Amino acid sequence: MFVGNIVTHSNINVDKYFKVVNSLDDIIDGLPTLIVGWDIVKIINPNADFIDKKLSENIFWTFKKSERRDIFEDDFYDFNEYCYGLLIKDIEYKFIDLIQLNENELKNTFRFIKKNENVVGYLNNKMLYIFVEKTIYGIDLTLLKYMDYNTDDVLYKIKSYCSVFLDNKEILIEYKDVIDMLNNEVKYIPFLYSIEYG
């Protein structure tokens, strides 16, 4: 899974979700691309402007650290944030509110989840997140208990709907950098797992 391309002739410290290449010929088409270095930009586009950091719809540029460290760090952070924002822009979050939803709505929601083949669940503290077809469903287990449901039975049943169920701290550590860029919203972990591991 890649979220963006970085074109540079320098060593750069970036997470594994960015493809780092030496030439625009090696980028993954369709992903946002950051070109690092005024020297590369001037070769690609001799008319490039210092002020405008956007070369085309999905191609941006910044200075190398050695050219303008402060600008590089700001632009690099903004590019990371932009790429991860694009990754989740089509993902919808729905909280399964046991108080507000009627019995039919609950049954329909769980039928929809159950009928899908690629369902990834994730348990974090007392929240359960289920990713299916561009939607993350959230269930508050504390509310479940308050509503007098047997949380162990419900959890067992939901686990049976999932092709993968994540409930360990290691998965949070694996996606820590990405989650940091997504405002620490752990609800995206089943989605991230799904796109990385299919």
Q: In what order do the strands lie in the sheet with 54-56?
A: 18-21, 4-7, 33-36, 59-62, 54-56
pTM (2 decimals)? 0.84
Is residue 8 predicted with pLDDT exceeding 90?
yes
Looking up tokens 């999932």, which residue turns up? 162
Interval 24-73: pLDDT, tens: 899 999 999 999 998 898 888 888 887 888 888 899 999 998 888 899 99
Residue percentage of the chain with pLDDT more than 70: 99
Cα separation, 179 vs 188, in Å, equals 8
State the pLDDT at residue 16: 87
Q: Where are the domains of the chain?
A: 4-88, 92-197
- Residue 76: how many other CB atoms lie within 10 Å: 18
pLDDT in tens, 148-183: 888 899 899 999 999 999 987 788 888 888 888 898
